[in-house]
Structure 1
Amino acid sequence: MFHHTHPYEPFIPENATKLIVGTLPPPRFTTGALKPDDVNFCYGSRDGLLWPVLDKLFDLNLKYENTEEAILQRKRFLEKRGIGICDVVESSRRDKIDASDLGMQLVELRDIIGILRINLNINTLLFTGGNSKNGPEYFFRRHLKDLEEDIKLKVISNEVPRVHQFVLDGRLINTVSLTAPSGSANRAIGSMDLYKSIKTKNPEFNTIDFRILQYKGYF
């Protein structure tokens, strides 16, 4: 089985109040076989949509290439906005070498709660996906169960993006389960009533525009 380890340490600026939490980047980031238009940083896959969405949302004029400048652009943005990145999965095993979340087996999780206890200014977790099997929220819930502490997620909103809250050492922390910034989520977006309503009024509206609309209030 392929041992899919996370290639990046958490990136958490000192001023971070928000933490982006996903699972694992594609296996080629672990093996180092990056493509020319991959960026060697979190969410740097040429096929990923997080940075294109943030690029349009904040007019960042990002480079999409395997260069140090492309990495620095993203780090500068995160530092300026007080946003960190710490995916919940440290490693997994795979029978098939691909980027499917469902293909992850024998998953080892990062200690997100421990990281929150070190970074006391963080008040929001931005999950890049929901509670479907092997998604970021799914694994975070498993992490809470594994800790055997009395930390429970309280529903604030069941509308997409779903919002929960929990209390950690007397500190209130929000979680937001965003629509995943991956092509595989486009079908789910297409079935959403809000998307269909906007698309009817504006045929040019697409799934990238939908994510921009959704992410706008959280970044």
Structure 2
Amino acid sequence: MTPDFSNLPLERHPFPPFIPSNAKVLIMGTFPPKPIRWSMEFYYPNKTNDFWKVMGIIFYNDVDHFRLPDGTFDEALIRNFLEEKGIALHDTGAAIRRLKDNASDKFLEIVEPVNLGALLEKMPDCHVIATTGEKAASVIAEITASPLPKIGEWVEVVWPADGRLLDMTRMPSTSRAYPLAVEKKAEAYRQLFIKAGLIANP
């Protein structure tokens, strides 16, 4: 018998989409961790997540570029960086249930997926969508009726609302639970930003 999780609380996404006016790349995870894990009220807020370490390595050759002395993140510095580079952030789950009391994608039920069309309407210069993990990638694949890419693979689709060509890829998860060294994660994400034209190909 399939378990009934309908009695579990429904969580709506706590953060608005972060969309710079010059957004060229949209990076999408699944859903933020529970607020007790936050070190800031912004994306990838968990101090143990590698996302901001990866960004620091790629763009500043400094794993701690976005960290404050107490180990938390410098939200103002992060927002300025994203605005400057044209990197938008949001997640693929608009509403979810946690089937276990943690942030693991394996135990997240996506009740309502993101409205991808509404996001893309606000970023006409965006032609690259990157997901940070398998569950996020599967949501975007379903929305766009495209194949689920393997890590590092690219899929092209034409977005029917405006005819734009979207290049979509799946990146390794930046969760500490994902067994890959932060330097290896950074190398994977570096290829994303090279393809998107945000950094030069060395």
State the TM-score, normalized to the length of structure 1.
0.74
Q: Which runs of 5+ in 2 are unaligned?
A: 1-7, 194-202
- Pair 1:172–1:95, CA change in 2 (3 A): closer
Report the CA distance between 1:106 and its aligned residue: 5.2
Query: Between Structure 1 and Structure 2, which shows a larger proportion of helix residues?
Result: 1
SS of 1:210's partner is: helix
Residue 116 of structure 1 corresponds to 120
SS of 2:183's partner is: helix
Residue 178 of structure 1 corresponds to 171
Q: Which runs of 5+ in 1 are unaligned?
A: 145-151, 190-206
Report the CA distance between 1:17 and its aligned residue: 0.6
Residues 104-140 of structure 1, C-alpha deviations (whole Å, 9 max, x = no match): 225211111232133211100011113xxxx111111
Higher relative contact order (CA 8 A, sep 6+): 2
SS of 1:12's partner is: coil
Aligned-partner Cα distance in 2 for 1:101–1:160? 16
Aligned-partner Cα distance in 1 for 2:107–2:12? 14
Query: What's the % identity of the aligned pairs?
Result: 25
User: What amino acid is the match of 2:163?
Assistant: G
Report the CA distance between 1:34 and its aligned residue: 4.7
Report the CA distance between 1:52 and its aligned residue: 0.8
User: What amino acid is the match of 1:55?
Assistant: G
SS of 1:2's partner is: coil
Root-mean-square deviation over aligned CA pairs? 2.3
**Is the aligned partner of 1:215 residue 2:189?**
yes
- Pair 1:154–1:96, CA change in 2 (3 A): closer
SS of 1:127's partner is: strand
Deviating beyond 6 angstroms after TM superposition, the runs of 4 or more aligned structure 1 residues are none
SS of 1:218's partner is: helix
